[in-house]
Amino acid sequence: MEQPLLMTRKEVARALRVSERAVNKWAHEGILRPIRLPRRKHAIGYLRTDIEALAKAK
């Protein structure tokens, strides 16, 4: 089974072992690139590849 390309803020926080607030801060600072989901006003996802790269660099 293929893993989804986008992760939620909660999934990112769990994967990187940080708070959801830290994920928001990193997105605001440009460390993470948020992807707005189509047809959803406030829904944001993060690319799994970006998260994996950040986890390796951490």
pTM, full prediction? 0.82
Give the chain's radius of gyration (CA, Å): 11
pLDDT, position 4: 67
Maximum C-alpha span of the chain: 33
pLDDT, position 2: 61
Instruction: Identify the H or E element spanning 27.
Output: helix 20-29
pLDDT digits (tens, 9 = 90+) for 1-54: 566 699 999 999 999 999 999 999 999 999 999 998 888 888 899 999 999 999
Per-domain residue ranges of the chain = 6-57
Q: Which amino acid makes up residue 47?
A: L
Instruction: Confirm if 48 and 6 have CB atoms less than 8 A apart.
Output: yes
